[in-house]
Structure 1
Amino acid sequence: MSKTTILFITQLLCGIGHVQTDVEIHKTEIKSDPEALAQAGNSITLTCSVTSVATSRLPNQITYRFYKGSQKNVLLNTSMIPEPKYSFTIQSARATHTGYYVCVVNVGDQTATSGNIYIEVTGQIQRPRLTIQPMKVIVGNEIGLSCDAAEEIPPLDFTFYKYKNGKPSPVGQKGTNTNFVTHTLKVTETTDQVYSCKFKGRSLATTSTYSEPVTITVQDPFSSHLFTIEPQSRIFEGDDFTMRCTVQMSSLVPSYTKVELTITKGTTPIAKSVTGEAKISKKATADDTGLYTCHAKWKETLKILEKQVTVAVPVSKPSLRSTAFNSIVAQGDCLHLTCAVVRGSWPIIYTFYKGTPENSLYRSILNATAGVYTIPSADTADSGEYFCQAENNAGVKHRSERSQNININVKGTKPMWLEYHIPRILAFLLLFIICCYVHVKYRKIKRRKIVKQQNQGSVKENTVAVYSKVKEKAHPNEDKDYVNIPSSKGTGTDSECDCEMN
């Protein structure tokens, strides 16, 4: 420990309570040797001087403090002496010594600050050194990075880098008034293995080179992650099948750690577990066909495995349909026969037959639930019974189903004149039928009218005859053309006659 430091501590412990107040500071000044420009490796001497007036008989103790930075960023030296001038020497200057310097003087209870001086030091900046703890981690853990530039003078700005595909990318930046800095970083991927750092003096235009790269060991938290489906080969409808999603954790993960496992079909979760295994066992159906995923999640780490499940389904009995109306098609027209199934795993073989199973017309293998056979121009020879057959390999054995038979009748083409005149003939016949109906109806109505008139005339004649006979009996001497019926009540016979006339 230097004498000035001992003197300063003694002053603080013994006489700080008797500071002299009868002091006046006139001027404080700082100078450097060499001035303004220095070479790296050489020394730099900073001198701080003060002009003051003291009326006390006791000598004044003066405290000198040297700072780097116009804002007094870094304290370089503190000394207490009774002299009005003090020098501080930087033994081996470095490029990071470039910057502003200032000194502060305390005399008694008076404080004064000098003006700033700027010194530029030419030379190379040292290469920093990077250390990392721990060196073995798993994804999701944190690591501590420490970048050290022990020979450089602060303030310094440090930047940390992570390498991906051999290229560095910044992952953190810190400024400090020391010549080292630490940074905490979370490992997010298994590729986060190589790191480095560099720094820059705040008064420098250039930065240091990258530190020596440091490689750590990053382990996947899941030492194994499996998604198995049994049976492994093709699954048939009605089979027992099992899906398992399992995971084993890395030895760096605590044994009590729980990992979340989920089996999903599409986007729908169908099984969950935190015991290290998620499992589904069931009878296979056609609806079980689809894409399944196994999710393993721990903290921010998520692993996904996918499996496609296809449940083979035997073909159903096919149905055969045609474009013929009422099973009749005109000669020369196009005829389509469609063989369709309701269910069945692809590929499906469709075969069309006429008459017998030995007479195969057309065969196709399709990833579809229907096959089509086309006769572009039907002929009378195409008349007959047709059927189809659908088959696939959706079971232990080959599955084949036959449709019902349908009958197709191809009619010959009609003569052109007949096709031209048939509508006119039909129209004439319809008009003739209507005319006949109207004529018959008219004759019936006319006949009824004549009969009615005849009936009415007969009744009138009968009435006149009866009346004449009655008159002759009542008035035998009167003229037959004279008619006089008394209004007074007559005999019962007259009365009855009168009623009949009325």
Structure 2
Amino acid sequence: MLPWLLLLICALSCVPTGIPVSDVSLETRPTGGWVMEGNKLVLICSVVNATGNITYLWYRGALGSNLETKIQHSLSAEFEITEVKRRDAEQYYCAADNGYGPVLSELVSITVRVPVSLPVLTFGDSGIQAMLGDLVELHCEALRGSPPIFYQFYHENVILGNSSAPSGGGASFNLSLTAENSGNYYCEANNGQGAQHSEVVTINIPGRQSDDPLRSPPRPVLQESSYLNSPGPEQIQSVYENVNVVRGDEIYSLVYHIQQELEPAAAQHVKTHGASEVSRVFSEIYSKPRKEDITDMDYENTI
């Protein structure tokens, strides 16, 4: 066989027949390149023109780490990431080849949105021990969640104020405490993927004390008596007298007189025998003399 005829036969058999692939593109589902963490991401590689079987390839990152390869007799093919993780936020592209050489798509960026976690509400440095008139910082923070995060602060289900964290993290709201600020507080975090509420924190705001408790000890509380005919609390008092009287051989020195409440039996005695006899009994108790030898005593200072 002539050499030119062999070359012609080889040329006809070696050259692929049909239309090469063109206009390769990569699309995503959900569209827009935004996907929630934990959801499914579908990467769709398509061609506009091609014939025969087409080999499709998917790559992650600009350096081209191959994820999947499929051969299909169709103008498109799909690759799924069934449960998206935060690490799947990357750039992707695909390639298609039907024997004429691979044609690449453009890069597509995938953003993985992370819902906010349950936020935590704290009350600055003073905690829930804040006092009336204090300026406290309410801080709300969700430890997880894609920015930006929008925060709202509530007191008894009424909005106190709001703040935002464009780059993530927490946000604060300052509050000057009044007597009406006692009650239940919570905060809300939202990044467009669903709102989350913190646990409720209850604070009771006591009044501010102006006296120093160390210098102002508590005053005694007078208790009312349950005995009959006993004097009221305003009548119970202590009388202190310093008596130094010499009468003959009798000396009356320091005398303490404290009015006592009468027990029921004593009260009945008063009713029966009269107040004069009872007075005489008490007089004898508190004026009992003590005899001493006063022969050598100087009376000038005692009279």
Q: TM-score, normalised by structure 1?
A: 0.31
| The structure with more radius of gyration | 1
Task: Identify the structure with bigger relative contact order (alpha carbons < 8 Å, sequence gap 6+).
Answer: 2
Q: TM-score, normalised by structure 2?
A: 0.48
More strand by share: 1
